[in-house]
Amino acid sequence: MRTRSQKQLPTAIAGFAVASLLCGGGATAARAESPVIAINRAAGATPVTRQALRGGISVLMGSGGNITVLDGADGKFMVDAGIAVSRKKIETVLAEIGPKPLKYLVNTHWHWDHTDGNAWAHADGATIIALPATRQRMSTTTRVDDWDYTFPPFPAAGLPTALVTSSKTMRFDGETIRIRPYVVSHTDGDLSVYFAKADVLSTGDTFWNGVYPFIDYSVGGGIDGMIRAASANLAMATNRTIVIPGHGPVGNKADLVAFRDMLVTIRKSISEMKQRGMTVDQLVAAKPTASFDAKWGRFVIGPDFFARLVYRGIPTKRPRRHTHDARF
C-alpha cells in the first residue's frame, strides 16, 4: 500500500519519501538512522527541477524544502536554500533562469533542509535575511529528538546577517516583497514572504501541501501555533494567489483551507481522547487520524508520528478543585 502510494507522489518529493520508512513511528520507534541522514542522501541523488510560476518567480524542488526564486533586473531573490550537497545543481538552474547574480536569500526558519545551502549562497553574494531566533538556533548546537539528530552550529559564513524583528517591505526587481513573522508555530522563528505584484506567497514550513507537517517542539513549536499560522496564511491569500509550501507541490487558497481544516479536525479529536485520559501509546493504537491518512500520511511524517506530535501540544485540563478545598 505504502509503496504504491509513493509511486504516485510528485517526483519533487518522492526522494524525500524514503525517510518515511525510517521515522513513521515517531520518536520512540527504533530507527536504523536519522531521517536527516536519509534526506541528505536523497538530496544527493535527486535532480533539482524548476517550475516557472508568474512574474519572474520560479520554484525549485529536489533539495529538501522548496526554494522560491525571483529573477529580474536587480538580480535574484531566493527564499530558502535547500541542502548544501545540491549546490552545483541549484547554481546550474539559477544560471538557466538568467545571468543576474544572487542578491538576497531569506530563511523561512532554521531547519537545515531550508538553510544548509546558506554558506554557498553567501559565497555567491547573497545577503541572508531571517528572524533573530533563526540565527540563534543556527549559531548553537541544537538537538532535535524527533529526528534523533544533533545539529552542530552552522558555518559562520552562512549565518543570517540582516535580521528582521517585525514585518518588513522591500522593493526589488519591480516587486513589492513583504516579509512577515508568524507566531511561534512550526518553530520559534518562522516567517512568510509575499510577492505582491505576482501575488505569490511562500509560507515556509507553516504549510505542507497535502502531507502531514513536522512540528518542532524542541524549539517551542506546537499544534496550536501551526493552526494560527494556517489561519494567517489563509488571511493573506486570495483566489488568485499562488502558494509555495515548505514541502509538497505548489498550491492555492483551497489547499490552504484543506490544510487548516485537517489540522483543526485532528487536533479536536486527539484533544478529546487526551482529556479522557488516553496515554500517547493508547492514542496511536486508536488511529485518530485514520480518515485523513490516505491523503495526508504518505510523506515524511507518517500517521503515528503526526498523532504523537499533535498529542504533545495539547494541554491536559486541570482537575477541578473541590469547593471545600481548605485554601478557599
- Where on the chain is the footprint of Zn ion (CB under 5 A)? 111, 205
Cα angle for residues 282, 286, 289 (degrees, 5° grid)? 120
- Return the C-alpha cell found at 98: 538568467
**Residue in the structure block whose three cell numbers are 514585518:** 167
Q: Count H helices and E strands in the chain, helices first.
A: 13, 14
Half-sphere exposure of 58 toward its Cβ, with a 13 Å CA cutoff?
18
Residues 118, 105 contacting (CB under 8 angstroms): yes
What's the rounded Cα separation, in Å, for the pair 112 and 154? 9
Q: Name the residue among 125, 129, 102, 101 with its Cα closest to residue 115.
A: 129
What's the rounded Cα separation, in Å, for the pair 282 and 303? 14
Q: Tell the smallest beta-carbon distance from residue 173 to Zn ion (Å).
A: 26
Question: Does residue 62 sit in helix, strand or coil?
Answer: coil
**Residue in the structure block whose three cell numbers are 530558502:** 80
Measured from the CB atom, the residue of 146 and 205 that comes closer to Zn ion is: 205
Listed in sequence order, the residues at least 6 apart from 323 whose beta carbon sits closer than 8 Å to its beta carbon are none
Measured from the CB atom, the residue of 122 and 247 that comes closer to Zn ion is: 247
Measured from the CB atom, the residue of 246 and 303 that comes closer to Zn ion is: 246
Question: Does residue 249 sit in helix, strand or coil?
Answer: coil
Measured from the CB atom, the residue of 22 and 273 that comes closer to Zn ion is: 22
What's the rounded Cα separation, in Å, for the pair 322 and 311? 28
Q: Which residues pair with 208 in a beta bridge?
A: 247
Measured from the CB atom, the residue of 111 and 298 that comes closer to Zn ion is: 111
DSSP alpha helix (H) spans, the chain: 2-7, 11-14, 20-23, 35-45, 87-97, 112-115, 118-123, 132-139, 223-236, 253-275, 280-285, 290-296, 303-312
| Helix or strand (DSSP H, E) at 76 | strand 75-79
Q: Tell the smallest beta-carbon distance from residue 113 to Zn ion (Å).
A: 7
What letter represents residue 1's amino acid? Answer: M
Q: Tell the smallest beta-carbon distance from residue 179 to Zn ion (Å).
A: 17
**Residue in the structure block whose three cell numbers are 547573497:** 126
Q: Tell the smallest beta-carbon distance from residue 151 to Zn ion (Å).
A: 12
Measured from the CB atom, the residue of 124 and 207 that comes closer to Zn ion is: 207
Measured from the CB atom, the residue of 205 and 255 that comes closer to Zn ion is: 205
Q: Tell the smallest beta-carbon distance from residue 300 to Zn ion (Å).
A: 10
Q: Tell the smallest beta-carbon distance from residue 89 to Zn ion (Å).
A: 21
Measured from the CB atom, the residue of 173 and 205 that comes closer to Zn ion is: 205
Q: Tell the smallest beta-carbon distance from residue 160 to Zn ion (Å).
A: 15
Measured from the CB atom, the residue of 134 and 271 that comes closer to Zn ion is: 134
